[in-house]
A and B are shown apart, each in its own frame.
Chain A
């Protein structure tokens, strides 16, 4: 009896893991808010990025404010390959990254180990 219930619990766990990590889930998206001559977005770094997807307007300087709350060494750098940026994010601090969003398109960013990803969409 115990044997069968353990088996069932195991299978449920496998199904849950598959659904939770591989299933389609909505990506948290946020649009930039305007402040004087630039657009600003606050991004929380905690087990990944929130929001994970950021929409900004073309042609206006963009400031991304990363606040790192997570202790993971994965997340201690944020990398924008298209912009040549590899910025250290000190623990419990907010670090600003200025981007020149002159071209429209989708630009990925990631953590220093390329495990967590985010996307900047310039429209």
Chain B
């Protein structure tokens, strides 16, 4: 017969009830009439219905030379029960209620524990529930509702206001703002227009969007996140090796201690058999190997689940211990500390609009990153570009062409080398802008410079705060960049970084990290695509996502949203999870180290004893408290 744990608990509770009442009323001089017989009948039923599965599974485990928690419960209850039958026949004091009450309490513990373990493990289920169930897909001339599984790449999907974006895609019509907090943790809605990527399971707030599907259901960002979290939740933290060793020997050692306890009381201290046995039953019942076994996995589950909700994906349990020891955090400059896209910061000259117009017209034909910055500046200023004749790209210098019959040149200071004229005002301004670590582009019309444009890859708004947060935790910050010392230093200072290492070729990043590792554990923060070697070299690789794409394969921690403050949050939540594991282990060990001697009666002289019933209660609560303590990780404050 196989009853669920909950059913077994309620049967046991119901049948134990009269015995519990008697236990409470006994000091008042009341006892059950015909106590022994009733206790025998009730306990026998409990053993058959509720405790028998413990015995069965202990028996099958021991046949394989294994012992676990069930072994202890089985040996404890069986000893109390069978001894009591013997005692009843020979008219000695019986201990039926020990067997009954212990069974009830242990089952009570398991009922709670089962619920809480489910709660700790359901982070991924919750994530998957974020997904929309169906989508409006364009098929044969109309939008029809289809389940997600039937959506294919390049399908056209309509997303109505207030609904979830069903799947990853790109906007092809309409505009709206989208709440991406469910996936990235970003609380502000994000404006989306044509060509912008959208993420499945985010919420479309106000406009109607038509999107072209770019990922199938099994490849979406949400699915990737779920896969990472699932893997992290079952990974093994190194600290667990200790408990693995202990739990291998735990149960047999407890059984041996119980035998010694009995021998000591019975032989050395001449206590009656019944009382001596009750001490050893208490030892068996109070010992709790499951609290040790649950300490690490439950904390890891809750910690990784919680961080995933914040857009921080911790990939395995090893990370936690490393994060604890981080001394230095190294940032890649471009795209990590800075936006990664150069912007026009200054335009100098008598007619700014015309400078931008001419420059943007010329650069609309060019592919250079600086050209893009200028073209975007023109776009932002709502300038219409002019037609260009005889366009010519000057390698390493810039570009030239004819606009409205004037010869226009845009480029770096090399365009000055020929007979181009430049006034003193411009030269002075150039010196000033270069001191601010900006890149200067000159615009000349018919060989006279009429304007200069300063371009810079400016730091993200969150960079300064993020670096301050790290410093306040006593972590040294370093920035790596291929830029020259001047530019690098300027940016480093503006965000408050401790050390700047400039002129680093992309291939040298990993080597630089090895150098830095000599003075302690190093974390590297970079984008997952270009920085893969550095991410693997560092003790802790933190890969930053960029909006819709996350580099899930690289790095030990993946940040879903492009916010540098998440670096600190990632380190913080890793540390907190690790501390939680240590606290759990500490309590689980201490509980057994203190509990077992008390149960064995070591402190009887000072009046401190534990009946098997109370030992069962203590054991039930010790594993519940470990799981509960882990669940508290969901509530801790993260900056």
Contact = CB atoms under 8 A, between A and B. Distances in A.
A37 to B, nearest CB: 21
Contacts of B5: 73
A48 B64 contact: yes
Interface in B212-259: 227, 230-231, 233-236, 240, 243-244, 247, 249, 251-252, 255-256, 259
B118 to A, nearest CB: 10
Given A48-B64, A115-B289, A84 B231 contact: yes
Interface residues of A, number: 38
A6 B266 contact: yes
B108 to A, nearest CB: 13
Interface residues of B, number: 52
Given A18-B256, A84-B227, A84-B230, A70 B57 contact: yes
Given A47-B63, A81-B235, A72 B70 contact: yes
Interface string A74-101: 1100011100111000011000000000
A71 B7 CA distance: 13
Contacts, number: 118
B290 interface: yes
B65 A20 contact: yes
A34 interface: no
B56 interface: yes
Most A-side CB within 10 Å, residue of B70, B235, B296: B70
B253 to A, nearest CB: 9
Given A70-B57, A114-B244, A13 B267 contact: no
Given A81-B236, A113-B290, A72 B259 contact: no
Nearest to A15: B256
18 contacts: A22-B249, A47-B57, A47-B61, A47-B66, A48-B66, A71-B53, A72-B54, A72-B69, A74-B68, A74-B70, A75-B57, A79-B234, A81-B234, A84-B230, A86-B121, A91-B2, A92-B2, A116-B68
B296 to A, nearest CB: 8
A48 B262 contact: no
A71 B56 contact: yes
Contact of B64 (A6, A17, A47, A71): A47
A112 B290 contact: no
Nearest to B235: A81
A22 B245 CA distance: 12
B contacts with A: majority SS: helix
Contact of A71 (B57, B113, B230, B293): B57
B149 to A, nearest CB: 19
A22 B252 contact: yes
B250 to A, nearest CB: 9
A116 B236 contact: no
A21 B69 CA distance: 14
The 10 closest A-B pairs by CB, nearest first: A47-B60, A84-B231, A47-B61, A71-B53, A113-B293, A21-B252, A72-B57, A86-B234, A48-B64, A70-B57
Contact of A86 (B233, B240, B290, B296): B233
B196 interface: no
Contacts of A18: 252, 256
Contacts of B150: none
Nearest to A116: B66
Given A3-B267, A114-B297, A50 B234 contact: no
Given A52-B64, A84-B227, 19 more contacts: A6-B263, A6-B266, A10-B260, A14-B256, A17-B252, A17-B255, A17-B256, A18-B252, A18-B256, A21-B249, A23-B65, A46-B57, A50-B64, A72-B54, A72-B57, A72-B70, A86-B230, A114-B296, A115-B68
Nearest to A21: B252
Contacts of B63: 47
Interface in B507-532: none
A50 B65 CA distance: 12
A110 to B, nearest CB: 9
Contacts of A85: 230, 234
Nearest to A47: B60
